[in-house]
Structure 1
């Protein structure tokens, strides 16, 4: 694209400034498609994502984006939503400056500001559905109603997510675009990274990376690891990496207490969130994704596959679209500690199987779950919406 070519101005409304799954996917998109689109990103807080987005060429503003909180979902919280929306829409309009927005992209159903701005300004609105709230009919129908009213196009990060959101009138607006990651190009650093974490060369390291909350499954992983050690004593380690949201530190305290009470406590290690997560993948042998509730996607699984690590995952949600059971990893019955322990034991007993699954997983990641494929899919949707607008 020449320097003089027009780059459509896209307003991105995002829900955080950290470096977890949706944050990384947004950064990937901006880095991959900055030559085609001018990105202005609005998000609600300071954090490490901001500097990376700016380095990628995006304008970034920290502001009220009308991010949904649990208390807002009660009848008494509707007033707070209304007030936040009014503030947010006005601020977003001012953010455009002398370069009017041509498309609004909301990178989560948890933010409403961009949706209402698009509605008011008559702009196409692409809403990225990265959530599943299947345990609440009220919230499901509420989100479907908002999508029907406020979304021009819905991008779903998995078929499972699409099945949740695609209610009456929405099926034709939905399409699935899987997230992607870039495969590492560096040499194998397994031994160096393991030494830095205090692991011996013959330790078998099971790794769990994810936000500490009620449903990611850290406590299930501890229980399964205890069962594994009881069945097959040996130099096995469980590494749990992640932190809780601000205000939810009780999940960290609960996990710490459970680990301290475990008969395997000396073999279990927990680290807070790290932005050098590649070093964790390099140090691990097997990656666990034992989510208690269906994952909308499961980015950690494709990150592990990019490092040629086999994945043991709960057999529901978007994970069943990522992990090929018996080929790139193993799927187990969700919420079943004994089934998870059995899967862990089967890989512990067969180093060749671990290596074969890891190699197959890397091929699958490169073929199906690349940043190039993800960014191309998103760019195609943006261009379709912009073309419809000019033809309207």
Structure 2
């Protein structure tokens, strides 16, 4: 009989209702490329664009809210306390039930802000692939965040050297693979680009003589550098009367967004600016542009906007840090990477391109060729194929008889733990102590408890804080430790019976 594909449960940290973030876009692309090797199911916190697109690919979608822990990405001192707080939420228990019901062979977790699925999966001994799509913030606690990932990931996939840099520890190095993002060129419908350029520029009121300089970010907030773009743009607008500027993105902070626009208002230049909140079909946006500017103030995990601009044959001007610096270096665009925060650097590079039409077109053509050569889908698939070939899959073996550090043994039945009230109830049910599997106390605490088996809810009474000594089987509770305790108790019972019988005989 033909063996079915192994099952992969994929956890997306967000599912935006109106737009797709870069991390969501990269995850969806990875899932699609994994479909020949895995039967995938996607878990999202709510309905949204990614859920809709996944269903369009025939991928089952589960809606289940799981709290994020953003302090891991920010490497804040309270991240472990926040993590423990999230474990007290009912969603932590529901996460275990989800894993038990789905019984995946492997779990894929997206971004470092989504640690709970990785922790739960590892608790159940399910292999974990953790996709890191952002660069951990550099703080005194970055090592602690990296240690958390090391502890709960069997494999780590970084999308750039920037994302992998904080994870270059002795324990993480053997686990980490770099797979740069890519795209499926046929999905971009290249044959439509000329007409898309005409139509979009007509909608925006832009003639052939104008040069359109674009800024794109799915979510607009301060770290994405829109204010720096605006400061650069108003200076370029006064030098080049034919320059028009397009902002594409959804403002997260309206106050910040309005402050950015004030740079144009104060110079009476608002008629030179256009704004589109969101456009899912990027092949209708990029062809209309002449230059793409990516002034991110944070160390980007990769910088997909810059790569997309090159794929569409556009010159790019970026702040050269993190993944953006890697893209610029790999494609020969070092001269168009300004130091992060250097608005004058953005201005001078954009002006250089606008002042030389022939160079502007040549740089765009070169970018299209180089982007395909370095980051094309053929190279991506080869790296992904090698990565998948090295995965060790053993799946999820549902536990049957379990206990934590306490004395109570539980029967795991239909997603619930039923405690044995007495040792006699356990033995009368035909079980042996060697069959009991040790599990973390947090796992037991997370699951709902059913009706006790055989009366009282504890195997035996013992003083608070007194721990049961383990045998050679250690945390798994198999063998010597349980056997010695059971045998000892039986011997004591037998000897006590014998003494009582002798006393009765003597009295007789």
Structure 2 length normalisation: TM-score?
A: 0.70
Query: How far did 1:133 drift?
Result: 3.2
- Alpha-carbon deviations, 1:188-227, whole Å to 9, x = none? 2322221122111111111010121111111101111122
- 2:387 pairs, out of 381, 387, 390, with 381
Distance in 2, matches of 1:169 and 1:77, equals 20
Query: How far did 1:15 drift?
Result: 1.1
SS in 2 for 1:186: helix
Q: 1:327 touches 1:357 (CA, 8 Å); kept in 2?
A: no
- 2:270 pairs, out of 262, 265, 273, with 265
Q: Which 5+ residue runs of structure 2 have no aligned equivalent?
A: 397-508
SS in 1 for 2:220: coil
Q: Bigger radius of gyration, 1 or 2?
A: 2
Q: 2:309 touches 2:315 (CA, 8 Å); kept in 1?
A: yes
SS in 2 for 1:137: coil
Matches within 5 A, 1:89-108: 89-96=92-99, 100-108=103-111
Range with bigger deviation, 95-104 or 142-151: 95-104
- 2:154 pairs, out of 149, 152, 155, with 152
- Alpha-carbon deviations, 1:296-354, whole Å to 9, x = none? 10001111111111111111111122124894571112111111100000000111112
The 1:27–1:300 alpha-carbon spacing in structure 2 relative to 1, beyond 3 Å, is same
1:116 corresponds to: 119
Q: 1:85 touches 1:113 (CA, 8 Å); kept in 2?
A: no
Matches within 5 A, 1:120-135: 120-135=123-138
SS in 2 for 1:318: helix
2:292 corresponds to: 287
Q: 1:85 touches 1:116 (CA, 8 Å); kept in 2?
A: no
The 1:325–1:160 alpha-carbon spacing in structure 2 relative to 1, beyond 3 Å, is closer
1:63 corresponds to: 64
Range with bigger deviation, 283-292 or 370-379: 370-379
Structure 1 length normalisation: TM-score?
A: 0.89
Range with bigger deviation, 175-184 or 160-169: 160-169
The 1:101–1:89 alpha-carbon spacing in structure 2 relative to 1, beyond 3 Å, is farther
- How many pairs align? 384
Distance in 1, matches of 2:114 and 2:299, equals 21
State the superposition RMSD in angstroms. Answer: 2.7
Correspondence 1:164 to 2:163: no
The 1:27–1:346 alpha-carbon spacing in structure 2 relative to 1, beyond 3 Å, is same
- 1:319 pairs, out of 318, 324, 327, with 324
Q: Which 5+ residue runs of structure 1 have no aligned equivalent?
A: none
Q: 2:230 touches 2:260 (CA, 8 Å); kept in 1?
A: no
Matches within 5 A, 1:296-315: 296-315=301-320
Distance in 2, matches of 1:171 and 1:98, equals 33
Query: How far did 1:66 drift?
Result: 2.7
1:196 corresponds to: 203
Distance in 2, matches of 1:125 and 1:85, equals 22
Q: 2:233 touches 2:245 (CA, 8 Å); kept in 1?
A: yes
SS in 2 for 1:243: strand
- 1:361 pairs, out of 354, 364, 367, with 367
Distance in 2, matches of 1:89 and 1:76, equals 17
Distance in 2, matches of 1:347 and 1:51, equals 40
SS in 1 for 2:221: coil
Q: 1:236 touches 1:267 (CA, 8 Å); kept in 2?
A: yes
The 1:7–1:259 alpha-carbon spacing in structure 2 relative to 1, beyond 3 Å, is farther
Query: How far did 1:128 drift?
Result: 1.1
Distance in 2, matches of 1:295 and 1:101, equals 32
Distance in 1, matches of 2:368 and 2:121, equals 39
Q: 2:330 touches 2:374 (CA, 8 Å); kept in 1?
A: no
Matches within 5 A, 1:197-212: 197-210=204-217, 211-212=219-220
Distance in 2, matches of 1:91 and 1:379, equals 33
Correspondence 1:244 to 2:246: no
Greater relative contact order: 1 or 2 (C-alpha under 8 angstroms, separation 6 or more)? 1
Query: How far did 1:382 drift?
Result: 3.6
1:223 corresponds to: 231
Range with bigger deviation, 49-58 or 26-35: 26-35
Matches within 5 A, 1:321-336: 321-324=326-329, 327-328=332-333, 330-336=336-342
